[in-house]
A = this chain, B = another copy of it.
């Protein structure tokens, strides 16, 4: 409609509807659509793993002003961990993460909706999310069209900071459950007894991108504490998770990065309306 205004919009806020930009290979696209996830080995190199582990552990001891700690039984959740800076801030624009997110959600109109550091101890609660059509969380909706484009809502990138396999603190999923037409019948079943639940073996530094609409859980580690990093992305108009709004401090220090600035913007619909709002304010 507002074609004149559209033209004035800076590239930063280019409307992505229907651009059909593709970053995934045919095989990746086919795989993600069927299974609901993509594994990225060595997303962090060992140095980055160590830096991330240390930053999370520091924050757990003495959180900075913009990070909130939520304690559950045998589990610590550090909300808004992106505020910690360093690798925890830089990871949000890693191409291997951001390009799939842009294809899966909505072009360059994606936002960082939540970021978390997780410390799981032996005994931590193992909850299998519902997934599929029966999932009450509509903000996790998976959408994809025949030989067409993705239009997913909340999509998560989970980064392992320990080696997790063989059921020891492992991340696990029900493959293809993001398209389930029926509720899963495993509410009263221990994870070990769910035949279709699959352990995703990850080494420290490996990451997995998955639709939040996929049934998933993190198993409790057997002996030690396991650390995780979680970033959740959504379309530009999705609100931040409560406690995960970007602070003024973070916005100021990321001003030079066009991409970080975009990911941390307050929610918006039409880029030109956002732009217009800037003018009239």
Interface residues of A (CB under 8 A from B): 145-148
Contact = CB atoms under 8 A, between A and B. Distances in A.
- Indicate how many identical chains form the complex: 2
Nearest to A20: B147
A193 B147 CA distance: 43
A50 to B, nearest CB: 46
A147 B146 CA distance: 9
Contacts of A145: 145-148
8 contacts: A145-B145, A145-B146, A145-B147, A145-B148, A146-B146, A146-B148, A147-B148, A148-B148
Nearest to A146: B145
Which of A145, A147, A148 has the largest number of chain B CB atoms within 10 A? A147
A146 B143 CA distance: 12
A93 to B, nearest CB: 31
A147 B20 CA distance: 12
A279 to B, nearest CB: 35
Contacts of A148: 145-148
A69 B146 CA distance: 44
A148 B147 CA distance: 8
Contacts of A146: 145-146, 148
